[in-house]
Amino acid sequence: MDEEERVRVGPPDEINRVNDVTWELPLSYKKGMKVPARIIANEELIGAMDEGVFEQVTNVACLPGIQRYSFCMPDGHWGYGFPIGGVAAFDPAHGGVISPGGIGFDINCGMRLITTNLKIEEVKPKIKELVDELYKYVPAGVGCKGFVKISKDEFREVMKNGAQWCLQKGYATLDDIEHIEDRGKIAVANPDKVSDKAIKRGLDQIGTLGSGNHYLEIQEVRTENIYDADMAAVMGIKENGQIVIMVHCGSRGFGHQIGTDYLVKFLQVMPKYNIEILDKELACAPFNSLEGQDYYAAMACAANMAFANRQVITYRIREVFSKVFKRPWQEMEMNLVYDVAHNIAKLEKYTIDGKEKELLVHRKGSTRAFGPKRGKDLPEEYRRIGQPVILGGSMETGSYLLVGTDKSDETFCSTAHGAGRTMSRAAAKRKVRGEELQKDMEKRGIYVHGSTMAGLAEEAGCAYKDIEAVVDSLEAAGITKRIVALKPIGNVKG
């Protein structure tokens, strides 16, 4: 379906309402469905979802080895293969597959949040200087290149070690590493499974934002937006007017090329495994096959590169703040709250029909949300409260810090990753002029520096869902709990 042809028709007549925020399309909805499809959304959001969501979430429900349900989160919208916001878990022991379309091309596109002890009255007078310097230090836009210059052999080390490579090179602290999902390194990574073309695309992209919806944002904490002061304090958020920084980016062209390479390969090998799919964008292979394992190892290389990318960006952010405020970043307490991955597949254990199984969980534009009972996989201070979840909103409306709950096991410990688009990029550009948007935002106290005016128009707040409706839906489903809303005051846009 062409992006411009997508329409909002509301949910199909066959959809059943399970509760206030859970909707189910039954096995009878589409021939070949192996499990029902469930969408988490309130009435407002389900009524506005594009028809691609219903088509794609039920296509996913037809894939081999899928367990329990095919899910879509409240930020869901049409994507490639899976809907954006799609979650599905597959049993490798019973033919479960791995699908690049269920992970995404920007592998480990993710979020991180950094606290400071700076206050709004210190930062506001310097916001233009800060944002403009950040734009210089953290390259943004299509084809941008980073300051880290490394050989192919060194890049192989990045692929294998992720953010832990940054620790060796002085771009990270041990505390940073402890506050990254998987400690910033997925061990199964094997650079031998990555093409030379992908390596060429990724070699000079470490420390760059890229384009699209990627951003680096300076945000303000306000007392009225703190919903759980105790949990917020555990995560380093304590005061009215406190300044924090959020980063959203991924593996850039490197991950895109890996996804492209293996989609082509999977389309070729599916007949060998007697796999039939409803959409070629869902090309897949059995996880335990040679091809499936090769892609998993290559995907992990891209995920590790993305962890390193966000860590180097953090290093540059600290440099800029130190330069502008003329003091060490440590003195400003620029600490990492957490770094979470989107667009990834992970092996995790779940109980299905009373039996514990190791499943491959695909999260496409969705976020892991471990609750306290999975605390052994979290930094020590988060084990009693649950995993921090960083939910990005539009550059006009702000974002959220949430925590995962034990009830998230029902959705394979997954939740939404952002507000989710309601408008195509082309439609946004027709409706909004970037120059006017930039001026209007500045009048409202948000200074934004983008790589292009067209890129700014694409990311206008009107192109996104109401983040409050998304968060309300997640809380009503019980899979995450809101901790604090964060309001933008400055933004570097890719």
Residue 47 main-chain phi, psi, to 5 deg = -70, -20
Query: For the chain, percent helix, then strand, then coil, each to nearest 5?
Result: 40, 25, 35
Question: SS3 sequence, 50-109?
Answer: EHHHHHHHHHHCCCCCECCCEEEEEEEECCCCCCEEEEEEECHHHCCEECHHHCCCCCCC
Buried b (16+ CB within 10 A) or exposed e, 94-110: ebbbbbbbbbbbbbbbb
Both tokens of 366, joined, read 């969705």
Catalytic residue among 256, 362, 417, 449: 417
Short-list 370, 363, 313, 359, CA closest to 342: 363
Short-list 18, 13, 10, CA closest to 36: 18
**∠ Cα 397 112 346 (to 5°):** 115
Q: Calculate the dihedral angle through the C-alpha atoms of 252, 214, 208, 216, rounding to the nearest 10 degrees.
A: -160
Amino acid at 431: K
Amino acid at 380: E
Residue 367 main-chain phi, psi, to 5 deg = -125, 140
Q: Tell me if 417 sits within 8 A of 367, measured CB to CB.
A: yes
Amino acid at 349: K
Beta strand 480-493 with 447-450 is: parallel
Q: What is the spatial distance between Cα 127 and Cα 414, in angstroms, rounded to a whole number?
A: 35
Q: At what angle do helices 290-325 and 252-269 cross, to 10 degrees?
A: 170
DSSP, collapsed to helix, strand or coil, labels residue 151 as coil
Q: What is the spatial distance between Cα 310 and Cα 107, in angstroms, rounded to a whole number?
A: 13
Amino acid at 26: P
DSSP, collapsed to helix, strand or coil, labels residue 142 as coil
- How far CA 119 is from CA of 122, 220, 320, 322, 368, in Å, comes to 5, 8, 17, 15, 31
Q: What is the spatial distance between Cα 143 and Cα 289, in angstroms, rounded to a whole number?
A: 35
- For the question of residue 214 being annotated catalytic, the response is no
How would DSSP label each residue in 321-341?
HHHHHTS-TTTTT--EEEEEE
List the catalytic residues: 417
